[in-house]
Amino acid sequence: MKNYLNKRNLITFALLLVIFFVVQFLIKEKIITSYMRSNLYWIGIYIMLGLSLNMIIGITGQLSLGHAGFMSIGAFSAAVALKSDPTLSGLFIGIGIGILISLIVSFIVAVPTLRLKGDYLAIATLGVSEIIRIVLNNLSITGGASGISNIKMLMSWPLLYVFVVLTILLTHNFKNSAVGRACISIKEDEIAAEAMGINTTYYKVIAFMFGAAIAAVAGALFSTTYYIVKPDSFGVSTSINILILVVFGGMGSLSGTIIATFLIGLVNIVLQPYAELRMIMYALVLIVVMIFRPQGLFGSQELSLKLLPNFKQNWFKRKEKSS
């Protein structure tokens, strides 16, 4: 059995605890104001959404434009559950129901549509999220077009932190697992992957369902953070907002998505009074990144301390050669 209590894991764990208590302290001492805190929640929820979409787009290479649809499934499940039981257990029941429904829906959607390629898949997933939105608009249990309001606010820093860390852990392990490697091979060259005996449809469906489930959790947290959910807040533009995080950070790079979310979160704070300007900037970011740096900030690389010693080694090697 592998020893999980190795040095690296212990350092990571200690670091996570330190970050948690530092922020907790700052919140308690009111250095982080409630306004900053709501932005922090936004960043946390969008990190989850970005990472889960990155599993589909960045790791598996399947362009999905329907992520907001799965987010809305989680959001409405949690809202309905919280209406009947406004406690943490109600939230967890809602999250559970949301994951279940979004797994079922994503499976039904994925099996046929993932046989499609590239652009067609993008449009089909967009169509699916529109179908979800229209269904929510017409269901009575979800309150129709006006949605559900006065949802119990249960969001807190510990809750957010646990979910974000869990998401990072899950997506990181997914990326580095055998399944993740199979998915990366599909992204690199689908035909070659198939020739090497990889059941491409199977792995695409797994990645898609995995991303959809995390999006549902993020949606549930969204509903308990913002008191109100409406079908129209999960339209195409929300899916594109998530897409921007992945594209900007670098498709396939988890740390890239996280850093991109922080950067865009900060820009959001600065541009808070100018909502339209913000949207225009989002659009420009998409276009400019695609034209000048299509791989995003980090490409498919991860930000890690390992990069430094490697750099040193390579540097010295090169020097030795030249001398």
Token couple for 317: 């090697």
Quote the strand ranges of the chain, DSSP E.
none
Looking at the Cβ atoms of 32 and 271, the one nearer to another protein is 271
Looking at the Cβ atoms of 113 and 185, the one nearer to another protein is 113
Tokens 């179908």 appear where?
A: 131
Smallest Cα–Cα separation from 95: which of 226, 208, 213?
A: 213
Interface with another protein (CB under 8 A): 61, 63, 65, 112-113, 115-116, 118-120, 122-124, 126-128, 130-131, 134-135, 137-138, 191, 236-237, 240, 243, 247, 276-277, 279-280, 282-287, 290-291, 294
Contact 69, 101 (CB under 8 A): no
How many other C-beta atoms lie within 10 A of the C-beta of residue 212?
Answer: 31
In whole angstroms, the minimum distance from the beta carbon of 261 to another protein comes to 17
In whole angstroms, the minimum distance from the beta carbon of 167 to another protein comes to 23
In whole angstroms, the minimum distance from the beta carbon of 142 to another protein comes to 14
In whole angstroms, the minimum distance from the beta carbon of 50 to another protein comes to 15
Contact 66, 208 (CB under 8 A): no
In whole angstroms, the minimum distance from the beta carbon of 174 to another protein comes to 21
Q: How far apart are CA 18 and CA 190, in angstroms?
A: 42
Looking at the Cβ atoms of 107 and 161, the one nearer to another protein is 107
Output the furthest CA–CA distance in the chain (Å, rounded). 76
In whole angstroms, the minimum distance from the beta carbon of 141 to another protein comes to 15
Looking at the Cβ atoms of 23 and 63, the one nearer to another protein is 63
Looking at the Cβ atoms of 58 and 90, the one nearer to another protein is 58
Looking at the Cβ atoms of 158 and 294, the one nearer to another protein is 294
Amino acid at 284: L
Token couple for 310: 């490697």
Q: Could you tell me what percentage of the chain is helix, strand and coil, using 3-state DSSP and rounding each to the nearest 5?
A: 75, 0, 25
Token couple for 55: 């599993």
